[in-house]
Amino acid sequence: MTASAVSSQPPRTGIRATAWSLPSRAVALFSGPAGFAVKIALLSIANAVGLWALVILAGRHQWTAVGIVVAVTAVIDALYLVPGRAVPAKFLIPGTFFLIAFQVIPVAYTIDVAFTNYSTGHILKKPAAIQQIKQVTLAETANGTSFTMAPAHDSSGNLVLLLVDDQNGKTYVGTSKSLTPVPKSTFKRSADGSITGATGYTVLTGAALITVSKDLSGLVIPSGGDNGIRAEGLDTAVELHPTLRYNAQRDVFVRISDGAVFHDNNRGSFVHGKEELLPGWKVYVGFHNFSRLIHSKLIRGPFIRVFIWTLAFATLTVFLSFALGLFLAITLNKQGLRLRWLYRSALILPYAVPGFLSLLVWRGLMNDDFGVINKLLGHIGVHVPWLFDANWAKVSVIVVSTWLTVPYFFLVSLGALQSIPSELIEAARVDGASPWASFRKVTLPLLLVAVAPLMIASFAFNFNNFGNIYLLTGGGPSVGDNTVAGATDILISYTYKIAFAAGLGQDYGLASAVGIIIFFIVAAISWVSFSRTKALENLA
């Protein structure tokens, strides 16, 4: 544009000029006293969060983390309070912070967990696990003391047990830390001997008693030595005696009845032969979780089956979606087609509706008994177990996933087709090429230059498409091999079940190992695919 052309443009006035000046005025607003006030307010919030983190970390004796928080907070304050220094860093810090918080730390934590035995029964640290073993192995003996008991809250709202010794009538108040004798006059008792009240305590009854019933089973009152008092029901407690004794010098548990010795197996458990004491504790186990995927038949078989199905699911979904989307794009790219805008709008509706809603609707449509699809098929004597047969469930997942993905490939194919010069197509026709040859030799190669990377990205997305599987079939139906992997589980849903829905508890270490393997599988497939598609770049 020449200088004369610029000068000939009319000046912007009135509302138009105000609208154009809004961005610059907004920037100017934050460059004066108002901007300084906003900066101080944001830094105050950041420092308050840092101080709160310091208190939490110091309480847990995480001194390395304390040093990192102090250093980071000091650097942020220095960068933003010193004017005219390190301007690029001021813009990079927020993005870097969120990158570390939401990407680097979760990835690092996942890698860390993959090399541990972190799972149900192996969550605590070793000292805490030893104390838990002492408590859970307490048992009632023939000469054990019994108590009349009433759960209550003290003045601070903490759960306590009001206890009356059935043998000598002595009265006690028990907490998780101590057993304290109190005068008999402290308790109020009914004619049948039950405790109805206590001075300074609120006896729990009705709904309040039901609420704390779960906590009662885990509350053990120390009563001297390794003995403890535990509630039996809602109005009785008994004194329990240890069945195991811990030898701190040898770091072993010895069973009192037969002298069996439980040693630390260096994998987070005390064991005697094949017998294992629970709970255990979290330790690093090296590549043990990865080794289980290879050597354990109960894990290797389902993993291979799920991996093959995951590849098939992602490949078929992308191929069918691309083929159908390209066919519709070619059809609706023709000039002169009446109501073309209406057809295009109808085709992108699945893309506009939230995916989870569409999946829940499809789950209802494919219901075995009440689904609309089976009701319609019933008129011709056909009944399809869409979600209850292993093979049909796989078909259902692919069909619904394709339905959800077609609009995406329709849009990108339509845009790619319109970017191909029409002269190339005309030249092919002049040379005598048939429509199919013209499409195969000219249109498709040029189309893939733009669409191939998107197909690879779609493959990676469907390889980890947890929502489609979980919301439509839940990974089911079961295949009857006594594993958590269902017929339609893909690797990511299988990992979820290992981590959170396994029948014998959660195995976070194994789930993290599978997650790392998924990353390398997707990365390898994507790398190979991108390297193969480089040849298409010469066609652009």
| 53-102 per-position pLDDT tens digit | 999 999 888 888 899 999 989 988 888 887 766 778 878 888 888 898 88
Q: Look at residue 2 and tell me if it is in a domain.
A: no
Residue 2 has a pLDDT of 46
Q: Does one domain contain both 261 and 307?
A: no
Q: Look at residue 119 and tell me if it is in a domain.
A: no
- What angle, 0 to 180 degrees and rounded to 10, lies between the N-to-C axes of helices 297-332 and 288-295? 90
| Distances in whole angstroms, Cα of residue 192 to Cα of each of 145, 195, 421 | 19, 9, 97
Angstrom distance (rounded) from CA 469 to CA 26: 46
Q: Does one domain contain both 434 and 301?
A: yes
Angstrom distance (rounded) from CA 349 to CA 345: 7
CA 452 to chain centroid = 30
Q: Does one domain contain both 212 and 341?
A: no
CATH number of the domain where residue 383 is located? 1.10.3720.10
Q: Which stretch of DSSP H or E encloses residue 61?
A: none
Angstrom distance (rounded) from CA 393 to CA 476: 8
Q: Does one domain contain both 432 and 501?
A: yes
Type of residue at 445: P
Q: Does one domain contain both 380 and 485?
A: yes
Residue 287 has a pLDDT of 94
Query: Residue 140 belongs to what domain range?
Result: 127-277
Q: Does one domain contain both 260 and 395?
A: no
| Distances in whole angstroms, Cα of residue 291 to Cα of each of 297, 300, 318, 511, 524 | 11, 10, 32, 13, 21
For residues 411 and 450, the answer to whether their CB atoms sit within 8 Å is no
Around 262, how many Cα atoms within 13 Å sit in the side-chain half-sphere?
A: 23
Locate 515 and state its tokens.
């997650």
Q: Look at residue 96 and tell me if it is in a domain.
A: yes
Number of domains in the chain: 3
Q: Look at residue 288 and tell me if it is in a domain.
A: no
* 267 three-class SS: coil
Q: Does one domain contain both 326 and 393?
A: yes
For residues 122 and 280, the answer to whether their CB atoms sit within 8 Å is yes
Q: Does one domain contain both 271 and 325?
A: no
Angstrom distance (rounded) from CA 130 to CA 253: 9
Look at residues 246, 277, 308 and tell me which one is the last residue of a structural domain.
Answer: 277
Q: Does one domain contain both 411 and 389?
A: yes
For residues 229 and 147, the answer to whether their CB atoms sit within 8 Å is yes
Type of residue at 304: I
> Using the 8-state DSSP alphabet, how is residue 485 labeled?
-
Residue 7 has a pLDDT of 46
Angstrom distance (rounded) from CA 105 to CA 149: 48
Question: Phi-psi region for residue 79, left (φ > 0), alpha (ψ -120 to 50) or beta?
Answer: alpha
Q: Does one domain contain both 218 and 317?
A: no
Residues (pLDDT < 50) of the chain are: 1-8, 539-540
Q: Look at residue 122 and tell me if it is in a domain.
A: no
Task: Please state the φ and ψ torsions of residue 264, each to the nearest 5 degrees.
Answer: -70, 120
For residues 447 and 326, the answer to whether their CB atoms sit within 8 Å is yes
Q: Look at residue 20 and tell me if it is in a domain.
A: no
Look at residues 58, 85, 114 and tell me which one is the last residue of a structural domain.
Answer: 114
Angstrom distance (rounded) from CA 235 to CA 189: 12
Q: What is the pLDDT of residues 444-496, one digit of tens each?
A: 888 888 898 899 889 999 999 999 999 999 998 988 766 788 999 999 999 99
Task: Please state the φ and ψ torsions of residue 178, each to the nearest 5 degrees.
Answer: -160, 160
For residues 377 and 386, the answer to whether their CB atoms sit within 8 Å is no
Q: Does one domain contain both 322 and 467?
A: yes
**pTM of the complete model:** 0.78
